[in-house]
């Protein structure tokens, strides 16, 4: 069962992509960067992880949560008056996370997708009706 050069290239690229995904999750390489947007009465932050956030490890990739939002309300100033507190203003902080392209990629996903790659190449060869000539 010979494989063509294009099938070899496909397998090499396929295995490299999935090996990289496993590596960034095991080594916790996040590739994070921040973007802050200040608005009246609050601050919105975007935290983006290019590769992984190393959370949601119980989910199967690619069926995972790619974004997470958190909201937090803080008081900016409080003035005490006769056993009562007057809140001067409230500040709302919203943080949006992009959890990375390979979020929650682990060993089960690696094994599954490597087997899928080999199946893409070899299953059509097993099902072909052509017999090798002798």
Task: Locate all alpha helices (DSSP H) within 37-87, ordered by sequence.
Answer: none
| Average of per-residue pLDDT values in the chain | 76
Q: Distance between CA 32 and CA 55 in Å, rounded? A: 14
What pLDDT sits at residue 81?
A: 59
Model confidence, pTM: 0.66
How many helices (H) and strands (E) would you count in the chain?
A: 2, 4
Q: What is the mean predicted confidence (pLDDT) over 6-32?
A: 90
Ranges of beta strands (E only) in 19-127 are: 32-39, 42-49, 67-81, 84-98
Residue 49: which of 94, 99, 95 has the closest Cα?
99
pLDDT, one tens digit per residue, over 31-53 is 777 776 655 555 666 777 767 77
Q: Is the confidence at residue 3, as pLDDT, over 70?
A: yes
């Amino acid at each position: 069962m010979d494989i063509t050069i294009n099938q070899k290239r496909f397998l090499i690229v396929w295995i490299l992509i999935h090996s990289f995904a496993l590596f960034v999750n095991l080594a916790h390489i996040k590739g994070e960067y921040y973007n802050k947007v200040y608005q009246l009465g609050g601050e919105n932050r975007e935290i983006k992880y290019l590769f992984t956030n190393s959370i949601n490890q119980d989910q199967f990739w690619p069926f995972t949560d790619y974004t997470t939002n958190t909201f937090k309300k803080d008081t900016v100033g409080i003035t005490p008056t006769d056993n009562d507190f007057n809140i001067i203003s409230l500040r709302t902080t919203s943080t949006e996370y992009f959890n990375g392209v390979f979020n929650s990629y682990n060993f089960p996903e690696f094994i599954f997708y490597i087997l899928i790659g080999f199946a893409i190449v070899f299953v059509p060869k097993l099902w072909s009706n052509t017999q090798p000539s002798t």
